[in-house]
Structure 1
Amino acid sequence: MITRNLYRITQTAFAAGLLLLASCNKDIEDTETLVPQAPAALDEDAANWAPVDASVMTIEKITGIVENSTPKVFNPPADVSSDAYKAELAAVKDLQKNLTKEQRGVIEYWSGGGVLRWNQIMRGMVARFNLPPEPNAVGAYPAPDAENPFSDPMFPFANPPYAARAYSYVSVAQYEALKAAWHYMYQYNRPAPYKNDSEIKALMPETDLPAYPSPDAVMSGVSVEMLKLLFPAAVEEITKKAAEQRNAALWSGKATTSDIAAGLALGKSVANLFIARARGDGMGAAGGNKALWQALVDSCTKRGELAWKSLETPARPPMLPFFGLRKDATTGPKMGSMPDAAR
C-alpha cells in the first residue's frame, strides 16, 4: 500500500512539474500559415490615395525630402540597357544558381506577404513584452526605461494601450511608405529582373509591378525603423527580419541591389517622419505620477463613482491612465479632457 501511494505521489509530482515547466515557457508558438500572396490588382494610382494624417506625411512632403536632400535619398535608376544594370542582373542569376534550402525557405516565408508577415512578427513581440514589472526590494514597481531597454524590467511593457499605439504607428507608416513607393515605381517604371532577363526565375508570385524602388525594401526600411523605436530590446530580431525581407526580394528575382538600396532609403525616410511624431505625441507622460493618480481617484470619487484600486500587494499603479486623454501633438482633435492636476 505504501509503495502504491508513493508511486501515485511520484506520478502527481511529475505531472505537476511538467505543467509548471509548460507554464513558464515564454516562447511564442506560431501556428498561422501564410500562403504565397499575389496582388489582386496593381493599384497604379495608389500614390494618390488620401493620407492618414497630412500634417505628418504627404506624397509632396516625401518627394521634397527625396529630391532636395544633399546627398539625395536615392537617384533615378540606371537604364535597363546599361552595363551597370546588366551586371546587377548577372549577380541575381549567379545567386539563384546556388540558393540553399535555408534561402529558399526565406523566400517562401516572405512570399506570404510583407504586411501580413510584419503584423505577425509584431504580434509575437507584443505577446513577449506584455509582462508587467515585478516589485523591487522596497515594494515599488520600476517603470521600463526606453533609454535602457535591456534593463529589468525590459522596455516596453507592451500592455494593450502601448500595443494599440504601436500597431497604429507601424500600419500607417507602412501604408504611407508604400504609397511613396508606388509614386516612384510608376515614375521610373523599371521592370522586375525576371521581366528583363528570361534566365532569372520568378521565385515569388509573378506580377507586372515595376521594381524601382523595391516595395519589399521600402517595407523593410520603414518597418525596421519603427519597430526599433517601439521595441528596442528586440533590435536584433527586428534587424534580422528586415534583412531577410530584402534578401528574399533579391534571391527571388523581384529586385536587384539598386532596387533594394533605393527602397531601403525611401522606407527609412518615411519612418523618420513618423518617428518624429511619435517622439512628440505625449506618450511619455501617459503613465502619470502619484499626484496625478490621486487626482484621478479624487475626481472619480467626487463624481460619485467607484475609483479603480489595485488588489495586488504591494499595490500596483494604474496602467497608462492618461493614454486616452493625451492631446494630439500635431493638429488633430483633442482626445479628451485632462484632469486639472495633469494640465
Structure 2
Amino acid sequence: MRADPASVVGRRILFLAHSHAFGPFRVGSHHYARVLAGNGAEVVHLSTPISLAHRATGRVSRDAAADVPEGPQRDADGVTHLVPRTILPRPYGRFRVARELRRHGILPDFDAVLVDQPLLWDNSVRGMARRLVYRPTDLYPVGVKARRQRRIFEASDGVVATSAVVLHGLGAADIPALVLENGVDAARFAASEGAAQARPDVCVYVGALDGRFDWERVMAWARSYPHVRFAIAGPAAAAPGDLPANVELLGPVAYDALPAVLHDARVGLLPLSDDPLNAGRSPMKLYEYLAAGLAVVARATPVIASDVSAGLFTYTEPAQADAALGLALEHPSPNAAGVRRARTQSWEEKTRTLMAFLAELPAR
C-alpha cells in the first residue's frame, strides 16, 4: 500500500505562494495544500500581502480586498490561509514571514517550506524550514523577482519547476531538481454520466486577460467562424472595442461555477500571445478543459504539444490557427479521449511525486 503524501516528509508544511484562494482562480499551491491537508498534514498557505499602496493606486480594488479575510482562515479542506496586510508592497517595508506567522499564533517551524512567490523571500524563511524547496511557476528574467529568485535558489535544498523551460531559466543548478507540470482536479470537472450529448458550437476561454492573452487571435477566429459563440471569462477584461458580435465577455467566473461553464462548450481555447513568458507556462486550464470533455486549441509552446488523439490541436502561425480550430470543432464531443488523458494528471499523483522528491532531500 502506498504511503499517503503527507507522511513522507512530516506533518507541518508551509506554502509561500503568489496567489490567494479567495478569488476566481485556483493555482498549483492551492491544490497541493488541499491534497496534503486531506491526508492529515497541518498546512499553512501564506500568499502575497495586500498592501495599502496597492489599494491606494487601484491595483487591488476595494471590493477585491474586502473579499479577502484578515487573519488566518481555515477552509473546508483543513488548510489555513493567511493573506497579510502591509503598508508597502513586497519586497519593501518591514514585513517578515516568521514575524507574521507568530503574530497570528502560528509556530514558524515546518517540516517543509515551498516557495513559489519570490517576493515573499526574507532571511527568516530559511530558519523555519527543515527542507526548503523553490517551486518556480514562471520565468523571471530581470527585475526584483529575478534577484529574489536567485537568493531563494541559493538557499534551497531542491527546486521543483512547473516546466523544463522554467527550470532552464534558473541557470546551472547543483541541487536536486524536478520538473512537475500542473495537474487537474479531474473529478471536479467531469460531466455527469448522463451528459453524453454533443456540445453546442461554443468555444470558451477562462483565465487572465493580460498581455499573455491574444485578443487578435480570438477576433480572427470569431470572424472566420461566425456561427460559433466565443465565451471569454476573466476579471478586468481590457477588451478591444471592435469585438465581433459572436464574442461574449462573461467577466470573472467563480471556481465552483467553472465546471458548468465548461460543460456548455465544445472547445477550450488557449490563445497565447507572443509574450516570451508564455514559453514556460504550464497552464492548468489545459487539463481542466480536457477533464470537462472539451477539445482544446492552443498556441504551441515548448510545454504544449499537439495530441490529436486526445483532442488537443496546436498552431504556431496565424495561418494554422483557423484550421486547428476547425479540427477541434469536428472532434467527437464530449471528448472522451481527452478526459482519459486528464485523469493521468491528477493532483493526488502530482502530490505523491512532489513529496517523494522532498523525502530524498536531507533535513536540516
Q: How does the TM-score come out when normalised to structure 2?
A: 0.26
Select the structure that is richer in strand: 2
* Larger radius of gyration between Structure 1 and Structure 2: 1
Q: How does the TM-score come out when normalised to structure 1?
A: 0.27
Instruction: Point out which structure has higher relative CO (alpha carbons under 8 A, 6+ apart).
Output: 1
Select the structure that is richer in helix: 1
